Structure 1
Amino acid sequence: MIAYHILCHGNFKQVAMLVDSLFTTEDVFLIDIDDGQKPDLAPLEKYKNRSNVHIHRDSNISWGGGGTLRKTIKGALFLLDSEISWDYYVVLSGQDLPLQPKDEIKKRLSRGSAEKISYIRATRTSTLSLDEIPIDNKSKDCVLWGDRGHTKVFAKPGSINPQVDFGARWLVDVAEIGEIGHVYVGSCDSLLLKRREMYFSKYPFHIGANWFNLHRSVIEHMLNDEFAYELYDVLKNTFIPDESYFQTYIKNTTFRDKTDGDYGRLILRPGPVPRVKVFDMKDLPAIEASNDLFGRKFDLNHDARVIQEVLERAA
């Protein structure tokens, strides 16, 4: 019934715990690994002989650029060809865990199956101009803007910070340096900006988390839909396009009438900067009170006890 696509780049002992917690022979799993740092995959060895578990390794992935979007779309289309029939395509990170038993997850998703409902958060962004956003890098050199371990993000001279507003993400031009894992962010030139302005005036830009549960009908339709490929071409060099592609696609097609914004994820962002909090035992009351299907994010190296508690609760 479910095709799970797990995007991960490390801590594979925890990834194995995630797969174990969800595993059934009637579902299919794609473990999609950012291979840029040549990680130790020993914890995943036990899945190599499972016909319904597939492991893909890809070193051409960079956070902030089009890498995650590419692997998400490719993974979704790969899972369409699976011999296992499924109704829902569920995207998870390697730091997610189920907050409900797997039978409850299936039960909840099945409620929307007959009407082909997709569960995805999508918000239309405000319209901004490049002139409204201050220049972030006023130097004459590229400067390191962010280091996520598997990806380094550099701001080009004269570039804005696309994180100041969600609507600013398409005002930049992002370049990836393949297997090196570097991303360079620069402001749009006038021609590219004009193209995007015209495009998003016709197809409004939407944004949301890149964790969702899409009905199979969406993926099947995308496979032969020219708009799906055109939209990818427009968005692939924007900032973090994996958080806008599926949202913009769905909200500009007939699938907009078959969506539910309750995408079933418990995510805590307690600080003034909207970064995702890593769960610890102090968050257990919020976790236990939650009716969400999944929570993110967890880290064995941060608090193993809360992971144990969550897995026992969802067993």
Structure 2
Amino acid sequence: MRIAYLILCHGQPAQIRRLVMALPPSSPIFIHVDARTSAAVHAEIHQLAYLRAHIHFVPRHRCFWSGYGIVKATNQLIISALASGEAFDRATLLSGADYPIKSQEHINAFFENAGDAEFIEAFPLHAPNRWSNHEGLYHGASRVDWFHVRFRSRAWRSPWRRRLPLGYEPWGGGQWWTLTRPALELIADVARKHPALPRFFRNVFLPDESYFQTLLGNSRFRGAIAGDDLRLVIWDRPEPPYPAILKARDIECLAESDKLFARKFDLYRNPEIYELIDARFLRRS
């Protein structure tokens, strides 16, 4: 089992370095640095290429919260990974604020026994789902069914309703995933053969939480969707910005979890949690 890691990041070079060095040395790593990141920070992150083998940097896109740029960046990671010549069976999408909470051996064994499962949270948006009771922009199907306009990281819903191309039904779920190579090939293929679909999602609210789910939910991979992104995230702690930043006090919560990765971490504000994870779960000192 060889897992590729696709990383979306925009800053904190030391934290990105810490994440990269916690991943298996044989795993190919593809890194997208937000095009809005300063030249100095980008250059510092790029130094990671000299730390270990199999690190690749991909063409950069501007990424604003709730915007299509994040989908473009993720698609760029997928396309670059598939075209790289690197061999891999699955790919895991990570942010620079993520970190593994299980050993490399545990993660590899988990996926060795996972069959063809696609580890992504995905559900039909026109059926009852965890977003159905959300209000305003965050309401489940409304995210996709209505035309949205935005400026930078602000979005507004217009009065214009529309339908997805190709007779697709909208699906949604969390942004992060671990997908098989065949599923990634389908995603790349759909974007190339049916440009109307990516074009449609340019005016969806939070398209990174529906684009990939919609492609898989309307494909032969629908029955393989596990509904689990394998991430531990704390949303119910009143500690904005959400999700909660994980701290040393959360180590027992991480220990009790069956998830493989966690977010959100901040090396500068809470370095102790990294030390605890390395020593207790990753067997690194």
- The TM-score normalised by the length of structure 1 is 0.78
Aligned match of 1:279: 246
Aligned match of 1:167: 141
Instruction: Give the residue type in structure 1 aligned to 2:36.
Output: G
- CA separation of 1:287 and 1:184: change in aligned 2, threshold 3 A: closer
Offset at 1:233?
1.9
**Deviations for 1:111-163, whole angstroms, at most 9, x for unmatched residues?**
22xx43211111222479xxxx9xxxxxxxxxxxxxxxxxxxxxxxxxx9413
Question: Would you say 1:260 and 2:226 are equivalent positions?
Answer: yes
Offset at 1:294?
0.2
Give the 5 Å matches for 1:182-193.
Answer: 182-190=152-160, 193=161
Offset at 1:231?
2.5
Offset at 1:86?
0.3
How many residues end up aligned between the 2 structures?
271
Q: Is the 8 A contact 2:17 2:48 kept in 1?
A: no
Aligned match of 2:277: 310
- CA separation of 1:44 and 1:167: change in aligned 2, threshold 3 A: same
Q: Is the 8 A contact 2:174 2:209 kept in 1?
A: yes
Q: Point out the structure with max Rg over C-alpha.
A: 1
Q: Secondary structure of 2:141's match?
A: helix
Greater mean alpha carbon deviation, residues 95-104 or residues 232-241: 232-241
Structure 1: runs of 5 or more not aligned: 134-159, 177-181
Aligned match of 1:37: 37
Instruction: Give the residue type in structure 1 aligned to 2:157.
Output: S
Q: Secondary structure of 2:137's match?
A: coil
Partners of 2:111 and 2:194 in 1: CA distance: 25
Offset at 1:107?
1.5
Considering only aligned residues, what root-mean-square deviation do their CA atoms show, in Å?
A: 2.7
Offset at 1:99?
0.4
Aligned match of 2:24: 23
Identity %, equivalent residues: 26
Instruction: Give the residue type in structure 2 aligned to 1:8.
Output: C
Q: Secondary structure of 1:188's match?
A: strand
Greater mean alpha carbon deviation, residues 220-229 or residues 1-10: 220-229
Aligned match of 2:171: 206
Partners of 1:72 and 1:46 in 2: CA distance: 20
**Deviations for 1:240-276, whole angstroms, at most 9, x for unmatched residues?**
1011111111111110111212221111111479931
Q: Secondary structure of 2:235's match?
A: coil
Q: Secondary structure of 2:65's match?
A: coil
Instruction: Give the residue type in structure 1 aligned to 2:278.
Output: L
Give the 5 Å matches for 1:112-131.
Answer: 112=114, 115-126=115-126
Instruction: Give the residue type in structure 2 aligned to 1:232.
Output: P
Aligned match of 1:140: none
Q: Is the 8 A contact 1:120 1:212 kept in 2?
A: yes
- The TM-score normalised by the length of structure 2 is 0.85
- CA separation of 1:228 and 1:88: change in aligned 2, threshold 3 A: farther
Give the 5 Å matches for 1:123-162.
Answer: 123-126=123-126, 161-162=136-137
Offset at 1:303?
1.1
Aligned match of 2:10: 9
Instruction: Give the residue type in structure 2 aligned to 1:306.
Output: I
Give the 5 Å matches for 1:222-237.
Answer: 222-225=187-190, 229-237=195-203
Partners of 1:265 and 1:276 in 2: CA distance: 12
Q: Is the 8 A contact 2:61 2:73 kept in 1?
A: no
295, 306, 314: which is aligned to 2:262? Answer: 295
Aligned match of 1:155: none
**Deviations for 1:178-218, whole angstroms, at most 9, x for unmatched residues?**
xxxx245232353xx2x32xx38943222111110010001
Q: Is the 8 A contact 1:162 1:172 kept in 2?
A: no
Partners of 2:175 and 2:254 in 1: CA distance: 21
Structure 2: runs of 5 or more not aligned: none
Q: Secondary structure of 1:162's match?
A: helix
Instruction: Give the residue type in structure 2 aligned to 1:204.
Output: E
Instruction: Give the residue type in structure 1 aligned to 2:88.
Output: W
Partners of 2:194 and 2:243 in 1: CA distance: 29
246, 258, 274: which is aligned to 2:212? Answer: 246
Partners of 2:155 and 2:55 in 1: CA distance: 36
Partners of 1:236 and 1:102 in 2: CA distance: 37
Instruction: Give the residue type in structure 2 aligned to 1:279.
Output: L
